[in-house]
Amino acid sequence: AADPWNGRSASDALELYAHGINSMREHIKPSVRVHYHIQDGGQVVNVVPDYARIWVRVRDNTRAGMDEVYERVKKMAGGAAIMANVDYKVSLVSGIYEVLVNRTGGALVQQNLELLGPIRYTEEEQLFARKIQESTGKPQVGLHSKVEPLEETANAGMGGSTDVGDVSWIVPVVRLSTATAPIGTPWHSWAVVACGGMSIGHKGLLHSSKTLAMTMADILEDPKKIEAIKAEFRQRKGDHVYKGLVPDGPPPLNYK
């Protein structure tokens, strides 16, 4: 604190970096999400911090869109370091692809979902769901209890990220969604955990498992279905060669 003019603040660079990210938000597509969390901003207020760390995550519906924004975010780190006259390092700790959808496989899953029909809930489960919605400020409409039509998910973005996306560029992948929480429930919340630990979540899990098992039986019994799914996979993938986004080297996370 006695001679800060002789110090260089890592946290100053971190603040400048975060400001740059926030200033960029107006100029990126609506599908892009940029999250950050300051993990280390210094230890005490009266000492100029020589180290600071921020975790940034860039997401988009496609890898190409993500790559473009990621490059801008990396440049901002360098710019912030220049302004604060400090050194910096960027470590890529994770990276995943978007899911390569397969309409042929999806249609087969849809057939089995419709064959099974909607999940049947008891009145006690519906009451529990409405109480959850009341507690989270959502309309008290209960649980979703019908099979929705198949959507062309290739043109419809979904929230969240999954490393299943990487798998889908190597082998054909089909996915489905079943209700495991009431309509409108905020994800990553206690409300979802509460439903997952009781019959509402269990029914959704069993319903999706049955659907997948029925679909696998159909595929194994009819090789033509396998070939049709593979043909669409090859067509959608084109000449793209999968390469993991995380560079070679030791694991970037400290597990100690």
Contact 185, 136 (CB under 8 A): yes
pLDDT recorded at residue 151: 80
The pair of three-digit structure tokens given for residue 20, joined into one six-digit string: 């740059």
pLDDT recorded at residue 5: 84
Structural domains of the chain, ranges and CATH numbers in brackets: 4-84 (3.30.70.360), 103-237 (no CATH)
The list of the chain residues with pLDDT below 70 reads 1, 152-159, 250-256
pLDDT recorded at residue 154: 53
How far out from the chain centre does Cα 216 lie? 26
pLDDT recorded at residue 252: 61
Its pTM stands at 0.82
pLDDT recorded at residue 4: 79
Dump pLDDT digits (tens) for 3-31.
Answer: 878 889 999 999 999 999 999 999 999 99
